[in-house]
Amino acid sequence: MILVFGSINMDLVAAVTAIPRPGETVLSPGYRTLFGGKGANQAVAAARMGSDVTMVGRVGQDGFGEACRANLAANGVGTDHIVAGTAPTGCAFITVDAAGENAITVASGANAAVEGSDVPASLLGPQTLAVMQMEIPLAASLAAATRVRNAGGRVIWNLAPAPADLGAAELRALLATTDILVVNEIEALMAAKALGGATDFKAAARRLAREGNTICVVTAGASGAFFSTPDGETRHVPAVPVSPVDTTGAGDTFVGVLASELARRGELALRSTLDAALGRACAAASMACLATGAQAGMPTRPQLDAWQPR
C-alpha cells in the first residue's frame, strides 16, 4: 500500500509569453482551475499506475476542498483520511511560459495545519511505502515518517520544494527516516550545502547518499535521472525526449510512478529494480509534460505501456 502524506492544492494556471520578473506585470488571456499539490499529484500518478494508494492531508471546508477530494477519489485514491479543517484549501498560483517552464507560488492554507498524528495506525505496517514532500510542516512529515519506519514500512522522500534555510540537523533527521531521497539538480545542491556543500549535482547526490546512508535519485529534466547509492555507485537513466507543453507536475509524476513501480517490484534497493523503475518514471514524467496542468498528462499504466514517443 502506498501512503502519500502531503499537500493538496487547487492550481490557478495562467499562460504567459514570459514569466514576470520582480516588479513586472504581464497579461494572460485567462486562467484555468486545475487539480494540484505535490502530494495529491503524486498520489494520482501512483494510482493511475494501478497501485493501492491512500492520501493523508488536509483541505478546507470549501468548494476547492470538496472538488480536490472528489478528484482524488475519481482517480482511485483513498480519501477517508483527508481532514477538512478550518483553514481554506491550499492554492497554487502558476504561470507557464511559451517554453512550458513555470513559476509557482503556493498559498499553503490547510496544508500548513497537517500533523503527523493525522496518519492513523491502521495505515502503518511492513507493506506501507510512504511518500513525503515538503509542502506541509516538516515536523509533521518527520513524525509520520518515523512512525512508518518504526512499523517496518519504507519511505520515499521528495525534497521539493527544498527550503532555502534547511539546516544540517533537520536534513540529517529527514535522511535518517528515508530509504530513497528524490531531488532535482537544484534541490540536490541545496541539500548538500546543508552538509558542507558539493561542486555539482552528481557530487551532491553522492554526498547525500553516503552521509544519509540512503539512495539518492536526482531528476535532471531532459538529461534523465541519476542515482547514487551509499557505497558510491552512480548510475544514469536517460529521459525520453519530448517538446514540453507544461512541465508542471512532471517531477510529481516521476515520484508517483517510481513509488508505484517500487511497491510492485518489492525490493527497493536492488540495482536492477531501481534501473527499471526509474526508466518507467522518466518516461511517465516526459508524458506528463505533453498537456497543460499537473495531472492532465499523467499516464495510466496501459497508456505508459503503449506509448511510442516520436
Q: Rounded to the nearest whole angstrom, what is the least distance from the CB of residue 104 to ligand RIB in the complex?
A: 5
Q: Rounded to the nearest whole angstrom, what is the least distance from the CB of residue 213 to ligand RIB in the complex?
A: 27
Judged by DSSP in three states, 204 sits in helix
Q: Report the amino acid identity of residue 14.
A: A
Judged by DSSP in three states, 271 sits in helix
CB atoms within 10 A of CB 201: 21
| Identified catalytic residue from 11, 118, 179, 252 | 252
Nearest to 248 by CA among 103, 44, 55, 42: 103
244 binds ligand RIB (CB under 6 A): no
Residues 41-70, interacting with ligand RIB (CB under 6 A): 41
Q: Between 114 and 153, how does the x/- string for binding to ligand RIB read (CB under 6 A)? A: ---------------------x------------------
Nearest to 215 by CA among 163, 175, 167, 161: 175
Judged by DSSP in three states, 56 sits in strand
Q: Would you call the peptide bond into 161 cis, given omega within 30 degrees of 0 as the criterion?
A: yes
Q: Which lies closer to ligand RIB via its Cβ, residue 111 or residue 228?
A: 111
Q: Which lies closer to ligand RIB via its Cβ, residue 93 or residue 307?
A: 93
Q: Which one of the spans 34-42, 71-79, 174-182, 227-235 is the region binding ligand RIB (CB under 6 A)?
A: 34-42
Q: Report the amino acid identity of residue 159.
A: L
Q: Which lies closer to ligand RIB via its Cβ, residue 124 or residue 284?
A: 284
Q: Which lies closer to ligand RIB via its Cβ, residue 77 or residue 198?
A: 77
Residues 180-239, interacting with ligand RIB (CB under 6 A): none
Q: Distance (Å, rounded) from C-alpha 294 to C-alpha 182?
A: 18
For the question of residue 165 being annotated catalytic, the response is no
Whether residue 263 contacts residue 225, with contact meaning beta carbons closer than 8 Å, is answered with no
Core vs surface per residue 33-47: b (16+ CB within 10 A) or e: ebbbbbbbbbbbbbb
Q: Rounded to the nearest whole angstrom, what is the least distance from the CB of residue 97 to ligand RIB in the complex?
A: 15
Q: Which of 3, 4, 6, 9 binds ligand RIB (CB under 6 A)?
A: 9
Residue 190, judged by CB atoms within 10 A of its CB (0-12, 13-18, 19+), counts as buried
Positions annotated as catalytic residues are 252
Binding residues for ligand RIB (CB under 6 A): 7, 9, 11, 36-38, 41, 92, 104, 106, 135, 248-249, 251-252, 294
